[in-house]
Structure 1
Amino acid sequence: MTDTIEIMSVELVIVADLSIKIVQSIGSVLHGVLMELVGTDYAGQLHEAGLRPYNQYVYFDKDRKQYIWRLSAVTADAVNRIVRPMLEMPEKIFLKQKRSHLYIKDRTILEETSYEDLIHKFWSSDSLYTQAKLQCMSTTSFKVDKQYTIFPEAFRIYRYLLRQWNQFSTFGMLDTDSILGDLEAGVFIRDYNLRMGIYGLEGVKIRGFRGQVVMQFKRNVEMQRVLALLSYYSQFTGLGIKTALGMGGIKCEVIE
């Protein structure tokens, strides 16, 4: 493990007063809680930069029968200024918009890593990666020609992830111009089990998709590694629009 943790993912088990219904769009309210936590200066910096080096979303875990609030960050700065303070939050949180309380019941660190370690993870083994299963945990959408997309497209997903990686990586950029065509030619959607998702945000209903998408990688070992890396990375960045406000939450399983 390197000294610097640049990528970190945590989850909190949450419950709320009876007056609050926990639904996925509470993510936008919780974003407000986070921005209060980090303070106006840093919140302002993030807003001005237009960068979102973190993503967060809420979902219901059917196996555990619990509501989970998951947060990830992809820079050392965001890890230290957003994720770590979140782990130290008081157990009882007042939600101004809802005039009620949320309670944190449990806190778990899911992963701590760095860009160098992620590169090693996918390049140092002899594994061949053939597929990635992307589970869209909260409504996911891209904005194309002023319309919200209701179906995933492989090229759009990997173009987005490549851009995120090159924006935040401290160890090895992936050359966009030369790689993009190969990347898009090297993957296709093998299978999916999706349904329409609606995300309510400040009175606007954003349409998108939820559920599982299986990505198939074609037989080019180098491209398979890049695709596996970016697929895995999607868990920390989220996918598509408004990932800071609770949309585009992803869980990923890379298949060898």
Structure 2
Amino acid sequence: MEQIPNDYAEQLHNQSVNPYSLYTARGKLVINALTDDFFEKIASILNLTIVKLTNHEAIKIERIEIETLTQKELAKIFYAESPVNQFEIIFNSPTSFKQNGEYVLFPTVGLIFQSVMRKYEALMDGESSIDEEMLHEIETHAKITSYNLRSKYFRVHGQPIPAFVGEIKITIFGANTLISYLRMLLTFGTFSGIGIKSSMGMGAILINERQKDE
């Protein structure tokens, strides 16, 4: 935030869905810029060799890597016939949802895809609402078929937020079109994060795909 203009930082604080996510893992800081505008605003970070944080010793940057995912590539995933119908979701940083004003520390198909759909619609189409009929279709034809989760707290401004880490497997029993759509959403989710506070280090996911006959 110190590297971008103050007025843009203030604008980010007022958005319901931020155009970025970030998390730390194994000595890496991963910053996902979800719009060209945000990437341009943080371009100066790519030239940093030292990061100085308040109340923390300076951190030396050893290497910077850039990976891209375009809207065209997402569209190819949607229109291609998917060879898989099972997805392992690895929650790479503490993840949580908020529903009816309360934290939810166990994932459901509805919460996962509602979160990714909302982020996708807000950032790609500028819409804050989601297709409730489509969400119902997803909840009807996708199931969590196995899980290995454990609870873990994530501190924000000193306050612990109940969350979870681990992995789940989702199996989709619907048509190929639905499978391709969910595959696209999950791919987007590896950049956007899922659940709450993905711009502060929560909700990072990785995806493993499984063949239909496995």
User: Given the two structures, how large is their TM-score scaled by the length of structure 2?
Assistant: 0.90
Residue 95 of structure 1: which of 31, 53, 56 is its match?
Answer: 53
What's 2:74 paired with? Answer: 118
Contact 2:82-2:179 at 8 Å conserved across structures = no
Residue 17 of structure 2: which of 29, 32, 51 is its match?
Answer: 51
Residue 37 of structure 2: which of 71, 77, 90 is its match?
Answer: 77
What's 1:38 paired with? Answer: 4
What's 1:104 paired with? Answer: 61
1:198-252, Cα deviation, whole Å (9 max, x unpaired): 1111121111100111111113111111111111111111011111111111112
Computed over aligned residues only, the root mean square deviation of the Cα atoms, in angstroms, reads 1.9
**Alignment map for 1:144-223 (pairs within 5 Å):** 144-169=99-124, 176-223=131-178
**Within 1, Cα distance between the matches of 2:150 and 2:34?**
29
Give 5+ residue unaligned stretches, structure 2: none
Q: Which AA in structure 2 matches 1:104?
A: I
Shift of residue 196, structure 1, vs aligned partner:
1.0
Shift of residue 175, structure 1, vs aligned partner:
6.8
1:6-58, Cα deviation, whole Å (9 max, x unpaired): xxxxxxxxxxxxxxxxxxxxxxxxxxxxx111121110111123331100001
Give 5+ residue unaligned stretches, structure 1: 1-34, 61-66
Determine helix, strand or coil for the equivalent of 1:134.
strand
**Within 2, Cα distance between the matches of 1:191 and 1:56?**
27
Determine helix, strand or coil for the equivalent of 2:160.
strand
**Within 1, Cα distance between the matches of 2:115 and 2:19?**
14
**Within 2, Cα distance between the matches of 1:44 and 1:154?**
33
User: Given the two structures, how large is their TM-score scaled by the length of structure 1?
Assistant: 0.76
What's 1:3 paired with? Answer: none
Contact 2:81-2:176 at 8 Å conserved across structures = no
Contact 2:81-2:180 at 8 Å conserved across structures = no
**Within 2, Cα distance between the matches of 1:81 and 1:211?**
33
What's 1:234 paired with? Answer: 189
**Within 2, Cα distance between the matches of 1:46 and 1:112?**
22
**Within 2, Cα distance between the matches of 1:245 and 1:202?**
10
Q: Which AA in structure 2 matches 1:72?
A: N
Residue 135 of structure 1: which of 78, 84, 90 is its match?
Answer: 90
**Within 2, Cα distance between the matches of 1:205 and 1:103?**
29
**Within 2, Cα distance between the matches of 1:159 and 1:94?**
37
**Within 2, Cα distance between the matches of 1:91 and 1:240?**
32
Q: Which AA in structure 2 matches 1:46?
A: L
Count the aligned residue pairs: 209
**Within 1, Cα distance between the matches of 2:132 and 2:203?**
26
Contact 1:140-1:241 at 8 Å conserved across structures = yes
Q: Which AA in structure 1 matches 2:105?
A: I
